[in-house]
A and B are shown apart, each in its own frame.
Chain A
Amino acid sequence: MNQAISPIEDKDEVDLTCWIQAAALRMENDADFPELLLQVVDRIKAAGLQVYALSIYLLAAESKSDWLHYTLSRGEVSWLQDELYEDGAEFGVHDTKEAQSWLDTQSETAVAYLCVPTSTGVLTIADERAEPFSDEQQALLQTLVPAIEMLVIRHRDLAAYAVVNEAYLQTRSRLINSNPDLMALQDGSFDLSAESVDEVAQNMLEFITQRLQLDRGGIFLRDGDILRGFWGMDEEGAIIAIPNTIFPLYPEENKELTHIALIARGEKQYYLTQDLAADVGGSISHDFGANVAVPMRVGGRIIGALAGDNFVNKRPISYDQMQALMVLANQGAVMIEMVKLQKKLIESNKMASIGVMSSGIAHELSQPLAAILLKTQLIPRLIEKKKYALIKKTGEDVVTQTLRAKKIIDSLRVISREERDEDREKCDLNSLVEDVLTLFMDGFKLSNVNLELMLTTGEMLVFVSPVQIGQVLSALLINAQDAVENSNPKKVIVRTDRVNDSIVLEVSDNGCGISKNSIGRIFDPFYTTKSVGKGTGLGLSLGYSMIQENGGKLTVSSEEGKGAKFRVVIPAINEGCL
């Protein structure tokens, strides 16, 4: 190959946005972030934008005034929770949503700044130079902003997840063994974990009544400056949503500051009263019987409060019961945060996959559209030239090409549609696979990957969530594409088969493979080593649980250096079963 055309032959480089999105997708561990950010800056430089400092302000999720500030200055990456100065340029840009470029000549060396609004914050690039950034450089940065932002958001979520995961492991190990009620949480006979935050809350309430023998329980979560009821119980003890029960954390002067608000503010460790005409702080005048409230903590942060009472039987509440409630509150808090973050990670994973695919999709759609346009314009010329025989064929071609475009749009809907992702339906696995592959064809071509299809003939009916299976297949295909990066030739095989009562879907590649040490842990969340390579951590662990949710199994076999084979086995359905 000749030197002169080498920049284009490295096909990965063709689209920088795409590269950054792929990098976001590859990031499985928040520790990978500094290295990735450095690489992003290197590539921005290679694309013609000089930069010595890059700052990203990201609005913190929980608060409207706290900002996460990421900076990269002369190769050093740091990030911290920070305030955005109200008189600073960043604040102005965030306010007006209009990019700003200016030259600072105050210091010894002139510094050019470029400040661009993002959907969740502001991005600033600085460079030592005598003139402001040019229009082309500004335009280039504008196109990169969404991808860089996605990388940063993903890092933030991963970092938050790591903290929560750590807290979860710690509280589990700190369980009080002597408390028989809490043993149930430890030995697994009572499991709080669930797929949604609501279910976790309901599991907690069940634990309060069934194990701790309190009459009722209530969960309150922090929502900005108020403590809002989440799930609680009515007078009969039935579990109900209580969004209208609100305690202000910082009430106005003449309003009462409640005990539960003090707990949520972290200024009170617990509240326990045996007073049958309990004083809960004035805002509620019921006779609650004995009642208790404790904070819900995750890694030093209080996300809400857990309360219980003996509203019906008016028994006193023991200190042991309260201690158990404290452990339950922390366990539940961690679980709630885990579920929330899991959902966010799945979402950002999905967004990143769509980003990676989008340039391929644009190219894929441009083919039929170009044909439709030219062929439609040909028709008047054919009439003028009296070539009537060709008109019929040209018209038919336009229909065929329009249907080709429609098929691409339909397959995109498989990956990202607005219905609930988890909804399962009867569908044909072969056509699902074909739909997803449509979106990858050009991406594979772009990286010179030879894609071989070995689909069985006829329908292969399964009862699954097409969105989830589509996402897993996308993840497997992106992994395979990464794995064969240094192989020659690059080969990926997608195969479907029917084995007894099951349907098999295999994605195999002739890439770098997975080492013996890693293969046993490859589906663990956050498991990643350099030798495992790219794209095989969180993506696979999410894929593993998604396939499980659909009643199937995801397995892997691999020999280091010779490639890997991922195998999805899903129970088949026969006509008439449903």
Chain B
Amino acid sequence: MSKVILVVDDDPVMRESVRDILEIENYKVIEAGDGIDGLPIVKKEHVDLVITDILMSQVDGNELVFKLKRFRPDLKVIGMTGGGRLVSVEQVKQLCPDVVFETMLTKPFLREELLAQVEAALA
């Protein structure tokens, strides 16, 4: 059974880029365009891992993770950021200790970084 990964980003091209990389490695990918759409997916379907953008218009990545962890505390989440101050897991932890990303990918990132983090999170 291939693992199911939810990719949340409000930029469709970014979602597609991550999806293509993962699908060719036999992961099953579900997409969501905003944190607000990502939440019901995790509630309804089986999801092994979430990869989410931090800065989104309605419900951002931080809020999504916070809400996700309330009913799926074990769910692993990888953050993606386009720069600014929220670049590392440590900095996010410092700002909001309750929101924990397993790791953080800073855009642009390499395919190898993405796959390595996904493998590590699912191991």
Contacts and interface: CB of A to CB of B under 8 A. Distances in A.
A374 interface: yes
B21 A378 contact: yes
Interface residues of B, number: 34
Contacts of A377: 21, 110-111
Interface in A420-478: 442, 445-446, 448
A344 interface: no
Given A4-B97, A8-B62, A401-B13, A362 B82 contact: yes
Given A8-B96, A369-B108, A377-B110, A16 B85 contact: yes
Interface string B1-28: 0000000000101101110110010000
B83 A363 contact: yes
A2 B110 CA distance: 34
Given A16-B85, A374-B21, A387-B24, A366 B96 contact: no
A381 B24 contact: yes
Task: Find the residue from B14, B18, B110 having the highest chain A CB count within 10 A.
Answer: B14
B86 interface: yes
Task: Find the residue from A7, A8, A369 having the highest chain B CB count within 10 A.
Answer: A8
Contact of A363 (B55, B63, B95, B96): B55
Nearest to B114: A374
B82 A446 contact: no
A296 to B, nearest CB: 49
A370 B85 contact: no
A367 B24 contact: no
Given A5-B66, A14-B84, A378 B111 contact: yes
A446 B56 CA distance: 8
A15 B87 CA distance: 11
A7 B82 contact: no
Nearest to B98: A4
Interface string B60-81: 1011001000000000000010
Contacts of A446: 55
Nearest to A380: B111
Contact of B17 (A371, A382, A390): A371
Interface in B91-122: 94-99, 106-111, 114
Contacts, number: 102
B62 A5 contact: yes
Given A2-B66, A14-B86, A367-B82, A372 B55 contact: no
A385 interface: yes
Task: Find the residue from B14, B17, B82, B114 having the highest chain A CB count within 10 A.
Answer: B17
Task: Find the residue from B20, B21, B57 having the highest chain A CB count within 10 A.
Answer: B20
Nearest to B70: A2
Interface in A139-171: none
A373 interface: yes
Contacts of B62: 5, 8
A375 B109 contact: no
B95 to A, nearest CB: 5
Contacts of A400: 13
Given A5-B96, A366-B82, A397 B66 contact: no
8 contacts: A5-B62, A363-B84, A369-B107, A370-B14, A370-B17, A371-B16, A372-B108, A442-B55
Top 7 A-B residue pairs of the complex, sorted by shortest distance between their CB atoms: A366-B82, A370-B107, A363-B82, A370-B108, A374-B17, A377-B111, A4-B98
Given A14-B84, A374-B108, 9 more contacts: A4-B96, A5-B62, A5-B96, A8-B96, A9-B63, A362-B84, A367-B11, A370-B82, A387-B24
Interface of B: 11, 13-14, 16-18, 20-21, 24, 55, 57, 60, 62-63, 66, 80, 82-86, 94-99, 106-111, 114
